[in-house]
Amino acid sequence: MQDLTPLLPFPRLHYIMSHVTINIMLGTTPIPQAKRTQGIRSRGRPPSGSAQSPAQRMRRYRERQRAAGLRAVTRMEAPVRTLSGGALKHRIIEARSLAMHCLAAQKIMLEPALLDRVRRTLDAWRARYGKDTPRTLDEWAAILRRPWPQIAAFITDPGERATRLRQSTPFAGVLRARERKRVYAAFRP
């Protein structure tokens, strides 16, 4: 389990957030519903006039659950870690980039000549740098030498390397402004 101590405002509370306990009742038979009486629903105490303590009510509730064939199950789950605003925004941007590349892959599959445009864009970028070409452009050149199914699989891959390379993509010219606008509207941070 990951240590959350640096994320907590009070490090001594770490033991409180180390796990979450969830109690549920599991079974196959449906739970019988209480019969409703005609007329006005009364709130509060039962009509008998004898109030029960919360512990007594809980015992009766559990007895009804057991009678219905349900059993108590306790399981431990790790706490859900929330993302900071910056990290969340970055994840949205990565998802938007992946969506645009999926759309670009669909367009190139329908119109293979667009892949030549992508290769020309990359060649122009590499010529601009001369001998000092960034490593990412060399990686893109190696990827674009592959057959189209492998290229399509790579640009739509949610993995770390593909995510990193999508930040400097030669596929930017494949989508029209209207298509990019539609994807941007769907992924607002």
Mean pLDDT check: name the lowest of 19-28, 99-108, 142-151. Answer: 19-28
99 and 178 together in one domain? yes
For residue 164 the two structure tokens come to 């990193």
90 and 179 together in one domain? yes
Alpha carbons 149 and 147: distance in angstroms, whole number: 6
Residue 72's DSSP bridge partners are 25
Q: Are 137 and 168 in contact (CB under 8 A)?
A: yes
pLDDT of residue 18 exceeding 70, the answer is: no
Alpha carbons 95 and 172: distance in angstroms, whole number: 15
8 and 65 together in one domain? yes
72 and 153 together in one domain? no
Alpha carbons 51 and 78: distance in angstroms, whole number: 38
62 in a structural domain: yes
pTM: 0.56
Q: What is the pLDDT of residue 90?
A: 87
150 and 168 together in one domain? yes
77 and 152 together in one domain? no
28 and 1 together in one domain? yes
**Average pLDDT of the chain to the nearest whole number:** 80
Mean pLDDT check: name the lowest of 1-5, 77-81, 103-107. Answer: 1-5
Q: How many other CB atoms are there within 10 angstroms of residue 125's CB atom?
A: 17
- Quick: pLDDT tens for 26-71: 665 555 555 655 555 556 655 666 778 889 998 998 888 888 888 7
What's the structural domain count of the chain? 2
48 in a structural domain: no
89 and 17 together in one domain? no
42 in a structural domain: no
pLDDT of residue 131 exceeding 70, the answer is: yes
94 and 60 together in one domain? no
Mean pLDDT check: name the lowest of 51-55, 166-170, 177-181. Answer: 51-55
Write out the residue range of the structural domain in which residue 59 sits: 1-32+53-81
178 and 95 together in one domain? yes
More confident residue, 145 or 65: 145
25 and 109 together in one domain? no
40 in a structural domain: no
173 and 130 together in one domain? yes
